[in-house]
């Protein structure tokens, strides 16, 4: 199967903007710093999952499915965007969410409900839960298309392979040649797709990943395998070796991925505040705040060499700012005595 033969549903608005971060560049010094705004893909307050879903939903439709099912934590952005894609395509959406049902409906859960998604919480095996739910829907005549966590299989990642020519054209148009593109690495469809796309299309930038979840960091070797599987599947002629895959998690002093997945931490919050204060662009506390911490540290510590310009990929996730746990921690920091005035 060739890349250009793959069907694609139209869900987002592309190209997403590529912007220079003037104030941040001044503040932390270095070469010019840019931001690629995949938080502005439009539908359902999007983010990076929409590029993947364009390919996955096209396949669901081609297979005659009327329902999308996917997995995630209760605050999954991927789940929210699967619900949004289902709305746009006139399909039903089922989300299998791992963990207890929170008492308070905040962040993405509110948006999932507003879009009419069916939510199923489980503390057991999500695959088993999905099997049961699918049987119920199929008994009613629905046909369910199953999307893996994060939309990160060989098909979903094509969305990010294909972001590379979009970004190369933007750089050319702006007359700039950044040497690095920094993105988050969770389920790795984004990083894997970009890495493969950069090699296949001969991009002038190297793709660097920042690990998001300290508990389950994907290894460079498993990432290289994923890339090689895709390269073979689409006949791209690229071979990745584990030692070429550059994933960063920081060190003891600068630990980018924080304490745990989706657990509030003050360093991530400080970096969210930094970009808000310098560029009026908002990051989220679960993913992009951590990746931006990595980006800033890579600039300051010379991993991105002095004078070289670099692009930060904003992958969305903003609704997490308004989840109960994160709001409570911001509350302590920003809403204490003397933090605002009444006259």
Binding site for ligand PLP (CB under 6 A): 47-48, 77-78, 150, 152, 184-191, 284, 287-288, 315-317
Cα–Cα distance for residue pair 74/99, rounded to 1 Å? 7
List the one residue out of 303, 29, 17 whose CA is nearest residue 182: 303
Bridge pairing between strands 18-20 and 33-37? antiparallel
Q: Give the residue with the Cβ less far from ligand PLP, 199 or 314.
A: 314
Q: How far is the CB of 142 from ligand PLP (least distance, A)?
A: 26
**CA angle, 129 then 134 then 137, to 5°:** 130
Bridge pairing between strands 206-211 and 247-248? parallel
Q: How far is the CB of 31 from ligand PLP (least distance, A)?
A: 24
Q: How far is the CB of 245 from ligand PLP (least distance, A)?
A: 13
Q: 68 - beta bridge partners?
A: 93, 145
Q: Give the residue with the Cβ less far from ligand PLP, 30 or 50.
A: 50
- Please list the alpha-helical segments (H only) found in the chain: 22-28, 49-62, 77-88, 108-114, 126-139, 158-161, 163-174, 189-200, 220-233, 266-279, 288-301, 324-334
Intra-chain end-to-end CA distance of the chain, in Å: 66
Q: How far is the CB of 51 from ligand PLP (least distance, A)?
A: 10
Q: Give the residue with the Cβ less far from ligand PLP, 203 or 283.
A: 283
Q: How far is the CB of 183 from ligand PLP (least distance, A)?
A: 8
Cα–Cα distance for residue pair 41/286, rounded to 1 Å? 19
List the one residue out of 212, 218, 214, 235 whose CA is nearest residue 320: 212
Q: How far is the CB of 113 from ligand PLP (least distance, A)?
A: 19
Q: Give the residue with the Cβ less far from ligand PLP, 120 or 261.
A: 261
Q: Give the residue with the Cβ less far from ligand PLP, 55 or 287.
A: 287
Q: Give the residue with the Cβ less far from ligand PLP, 89 or 318.
A: 318
Q: 184 - beta bridge partners?
A: 210
Residue whose structure tokens are 């702006």:
174
Q: Give the residue with the Cβ less far from ligand PLP, 82 or 288.
A: 288
Calculate the dihedral angle through the C-alpha atoms of 43, 279, 255, 260, rounding to the nearest 10 degrees: -30
Q: How far is the CB of 343 from ligand PLP (least distance, A)?
A: 38
Q: Give the residue with the Cβ less far from ligand PLP, 53 or 65.
A: 53
The residue at minimum Cβ distance from ligand PLP is: 317
Contact 321, 327 (CB under 8 A): yes
Q: How far is the CB of 288 from ligand PLP (least distance, A)?
A: 5
Distance of CA 311 to the CA centre of its chain: 15
């Amino acid at each position: 199967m060739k890349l250009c033969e793959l069907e694609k549903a139209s869900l987002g608005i592309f190209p997403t903007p590529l912007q220079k971060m003037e104030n941040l560049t001044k503040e932390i010094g270095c070469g010019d710093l840019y931001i690629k705004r995949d938080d502005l893909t439009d539908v359902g307050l999007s983010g990076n999952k929409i590029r993947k879903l364009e390919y996955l939903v096209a396949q669901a439709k081609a297979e005659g499915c009327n329902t999308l099912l996917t997995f995630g934590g209760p605050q999954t952005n991927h789940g929210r965007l699967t619900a949004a894609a289902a709305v746009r395509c006139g399909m039903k959406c089922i989300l299998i969410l791992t963990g207890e049902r929170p008492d308070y409906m905040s962040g993405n859960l509110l948006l999932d409900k507003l879009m009419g998604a069916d939510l199923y919480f489980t503390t057991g095996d999500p695959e088993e839960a999905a099997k049961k739910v699918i049987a119920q829907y199929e008994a009613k005549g629905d046909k369910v298309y199953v999307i893996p966590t994060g939309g990160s299989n060989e098909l979903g990642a094509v969305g990010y392979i294909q972001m590379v020519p979009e970004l190369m054209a933007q750089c050319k148009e702006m007359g700039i040649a950044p040497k690095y593109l920094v993105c988050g690495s969770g389920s790795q469809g984004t990083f894997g797709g970009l890495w493969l796309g950069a090699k296949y299309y001969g991009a002038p930038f190297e793709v660097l990943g920042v690990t998001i979840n300290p508990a389950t960091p994907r290894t460079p070797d498993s990432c290289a395998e994923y890339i090689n599987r895709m390269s073979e599947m689409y006949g791209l002629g690229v071979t990745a070796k584990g030692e070429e895959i550059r994933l960063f998690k920081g060190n003891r002093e600068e630990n980018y991925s924080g304490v745990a997945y989706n657990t509030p931490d003050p360093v991530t919050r400080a970096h969210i505040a930094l970009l808000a204060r310098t560029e009026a662009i908002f990051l989220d506390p679960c993913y992009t705040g951590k990746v931006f911490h990595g980006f800033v540290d890579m600039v300051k510590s010379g991993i991105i060499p002095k004078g070289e310009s670099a692009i930060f990929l904003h992958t969305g996730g903003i609704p997490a700012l308004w989840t109960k746990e994160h709001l409570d921690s911001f509350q302590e920091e920003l809403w204490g005595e003397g933090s605002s005035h009444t006259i």
